[in-house]
Copies of this chain bind each other. A is one copy, B any other.
Amino acid sequence: MLTCGIIGATGYAGAELTRILLSHPEVSSLALSSSSQAGEEMRRVYPNLDGPALGRTVLVNQERALESSDVVFASLPHGLAEEIAAACSKAGKLFIDISADFRFGADEATYSAWYGKKYAYPELHAASVYGLPELNRDKIRALGAAKRGSAKGGARIIGNPGCYPTCAELGLFPALRLGIARPEWIVIDAKSGVTGAGREPTKATHYPEIADSIVPYKIGEHRHTPEIASVLSTMADGPVGVVFTPHLAPMGRGIVSTIYFRITEGALGGAEGRAPRAAALREAYVAFYKDEPFVRIRPEGLVATNKDVRLSNYCDISLHMAHDGRTAIVVSAIDNMVKGAAGQAVQNMNIALGLDERLGIAMLPPAF
Contacts and interface: CB of A to CB of B under 8 A. Distances in A.
A368 B302 contact: no
A216 interface: yes
Interface in A278-333: 278, 296, 298-299, 302-303, 305-312, 314, 316, 320-324, 327, 329, 331
A335 to B, nearest CB: 10
A214 interface: yes
B250 A249 contact: yes
Q: For the complex formed by this chain, how many copies does it contain in all?
A: 4
A80 interface: no
B217 A307 contact: no
Contact of A216 (B201, B243, B245, B331): B331
Contacts of A271: none
Contacts of A302: 47
Interface stretch (A90-98, A251-259, A348-356): A251-259
A202 interface: yes
Nearest to A321: B220
B258 A245 contact: yes
Task: Assign chain A's interface to a size class.
Answer: 35 or more
**In the complex, which of the residues A208, A209, A215 has the most CB atoms of chain B within 10 Å of its own CB atom?**
A208
A219 B303 contact: yes
A53 interface: yes
Nearest to A298: B47
Interface string A38-52: 000000101111110
A188 to B, nearest CB: 10
B220 A322 contact: yes
Given A48-B365, A211-B211, A220-B278, 9 more contacts: A48-B312, A189-B258, A205-B208, A206-B207, A207-B207, A215-B307, A216-B258, A243-B260, A249-B249
11 contacts: A47-B302, A49-B365, A191-B247, A207-B207, A211-B212, A215-B307, A220-B278, A225-B323, A245-B258, A337-B366, A337-B368
Interface of A: 12, 15-16, 19, 22-23, 44, 46-51, 53, 185, 187, 189, 191, 193-195, 199, 201-203, 205-217, 219-221, 225, 241-245, 247, 249-254, 256, 258, 260, 262, 274, 278, 296, 298-299, 302-303, 305-312, 314, 316, 320-324, 327, 329, 331, 337, 362-368
A-B CB proximity, top 6 nearest: A48-B367, A213-B307, A201-B201, A189-B189, A194-B207, A48-B308
